Amino acid sequence: MAIRYPVYENGKETGTRVEYAGCVLATRERNYYDDSDFYAVVWDEATQNIKEVEYDTTRCGGGGTADVDATPEVCAKVEAVLKADALKTLHSQNEWQAKHPTVGKRVRVTHKGGVMSGRIFWAGRVCPPWIRYHQERYATDRVGIEVDGNGKVFMDADDKAIEVENWEQYLVAEEELVKVAEARSKDYTRRSRMASAASGMLVANGPAILVYG
């Protein structure tokens, strides 16, 4: 089990080198245009974290093999680390989504003339009319605010002048975050899949944070 590499001497295979015995959580493959790399997701006792270890590739011969063999003790360590990591990320994302201006939220806008308050009645992505190609690349997130007793204004959604009033009410409950974190703690390959998606090797399906991403 574990990761095994052939050992050669004078051009002949003379033995096997074993690494990460009892610590292999999953085996995966990254496909490129011409070649594929094979790697294992393992628990690294030295760093107390999970990591990727490439054990074979189609680019050349002489690679190794890997089998999942993580012990229950190792899995418990992994899940504790992944849960803590997920909760840290979820807390940050939870605050962001609560403070982010979206339809229905009341906001306060500070500007040179003073402060105005209102409710967001529209949100969308807008591209300048003179852009004919690659419009999504140049589009920006905008919001429409119905100002209390004073008409409507449109602004960039990320404008620092916009502040969501009583944003704490939009926070997702802690118990819900814990449920998500516990589910992610048992997904040993999530980090690898997200890394692959970020590098453009595959398309990530499903939510990226919280209940929306």
- Neighbour tally for 3: CB within 10 Å: 24
Strand order in the sheet with 24-31: 24-31, 36-44, 49-57
143, 120 Cβ separation under 8 angstroms: yes
- The amino acid that residue 101 corresponds to is P
Q: Which residues contact 48 (CB under 8 A, 6 or more apart)?
A: 77, 81
pLDDT in tens, 51-87: 999 999 988 877 889 999 999 999 999 999 999 999 9
Tokens of 110: 């500070």
Helices and strands per DSSP (H, E), number in the chain: 4, 11
Record the pTM. 0.79
- Alpha-carbon span 177 to 174, nearest angstrom: 5
| Domain ranges across the chain | 2-96+174-198, 106-164
pLDDT at 106 exceeding the cut of 60 = yes
Tokens of 14: 């003379």
- Alpha-carbon span 122 to 189, nearest angstrom: 38
65, 4 Cβ separation under 8 angstroms: yes
- Neighbour tally for 210: CB within 10 Å: 16
Give the rounded percent of residues in the chain with a pLDDT score beyond 90: 65
Q: Lowest mean pLDDT: which of 124-128, 198-202, 208-212?
A: 208-212
Longest Cα separation, the chain: 87
- Alpha-carbon span 79 to 185, nearest angstrom: 5
Model confidence band, residue 175 (pLDDT cutoffs 50, 70, 90)? very high
